[in-house]
Amino acid sequence: MRYKREFTKQNFEELMTMPYGRMVKAAAILQLIEEEGVTPEMIEKWGEYDKEKGIMYLVFEVEDIMEGVNGSEFFKRRDILDYCIALSEL
């Protein structure tokens, strides 16, 4: 199976609503996929298949936020924000 992905106006609008650091990482991912295509290695590492919808997604970590709980230096809470890209099947 081969997968393709094109950068759309909806992707651009979604990127413009993100904070700068997250936007840069997501834009770099979209550009790489549009120029190089989706390789089997990418699917192996980041691919997730939704059986109900029958759609393959690539899920990338774009921001890792770690902060102390209630001001503590020892107890940390970690929030990982993902960027999900749906792929169309050829």
What does each C-alpha distance from 66 to 21, 61, 62, 89 come to in angstroms?
15, 14, 13, 36
pTM for this predicted structure: 0.63
SS (H, E, C) the chain: CCEECCCCHHHHHHHHCCCHHHHHHHHHHHHHHHHHCCCHHHHHHHEEEECCCCEEEEEEEEEEEEEEHHHCCCCEEEEEEEEEEEEEEC
Q: What is the pLDDT of residues 11-44, one digit of tens each?
A: 788 888 888 888 888 888 888 887 777 888 888 8
